[in-house]
Structure 1
Amino acid sequence: MDCRLGCGACCIAPSISSAIPGMPKGKPSGERCVQLDDNNLCKLFGKPERPKVCLSFKACPDVCGDSDRAAMDNIFELERLT
């Protein structure tokens, strides 16, 4: 599955404990990553400073569902369960 451009759920819903450029302590669940632009695209995509956790995320139907809203709901639920 390819990412839905402009979705941004994986950059908003999960907590990220590792440092992100501009967010040295990571980010809590529900907070937009500072590297997410106005079109919900990652400003670090393809750059070496992109965090390892972000590089390892792969879009899949079980997590991303069939819409941006489903992705957000699924990731928030996964966050709640962990």
Structure 2
Amino acid sequence: MQCRVGCGACCIAPSISSPIPDMPHGKPAGVHCVHLTDDHLCALFGLPSRPKVCEQFDASEDSCGDSREQGLILLTRLEQQTT
């Protein structure tokens, strides 16, 4: 599965414990990454400063569902189950 353009659920729902440029303490769950653009794209995509955890995320039906809304629900649920 490829990422849906304009989704950004993976940049909102999960927490990220590693430092992110301009977010030195990472990102809490449910908080928009500061690099998520208004059209829900990653401003760091393809750049060397993009965090490794973000690079390693693979979109899948299990985590992303079939819509942005479903992706937010599934990734939020996954975050809650792993904390």
- The interval holding the TM-score normalised by the smaller chain is over 0.9
SS across alignment from 1:32? coil
Deviation, structure 1 residue 16: 0.3
Deviation, structure 1 residue 27: 0.7
Deviation, structure 1 residue 76: 0.4
* Alignment correspondent of 1:58: 58
* 2:24 counterpart of 1:24: yes
Deviation, structure 1 residue 71: 0.4
Within 1, Cα distance between the matches of 2:40 and 2:23?
Answer: 17
Deviation, structure 1 residue 2: 0.7
1:12-51 per-residue CA deviation (whole Å, 9 max, x = no partner) reads 0000000000100001000000010111100000000000
Normalised TM-score (structure 1)? 0.98
Within 2, Cα distance between the matches of 1:5 and 1:81?
Answer: 27
Normalised TM-score (structure 2)? 0.97
Within 1, Cα distance between the matches of 2:62 and 2:15?
Answer: 19
Q: What are structure 2's unaligned runs of at least 5 residues?
A: none
Q: What amino acid sits opposite 2:70 in the alignment?
A: A
Within 2, Cα distance between the matches of 1:74 and 1:61?
Answer: 10
Any runs of at least 4 consecutive aligned residues in structure 1 with deviations exceeding 2 A, and if so which? none
* 2:36 counterpart of 1:33: no
Deviation, structure 1 residue 75: 0.4
Q: Share of identical aligned residues, percent?
A: 60
Q: What are structure 1's unaligned runs of at least 5 residues?
A: none
Instruction: Give the alignment's Cα RMSD to 1 decimal.
Output: 0.4
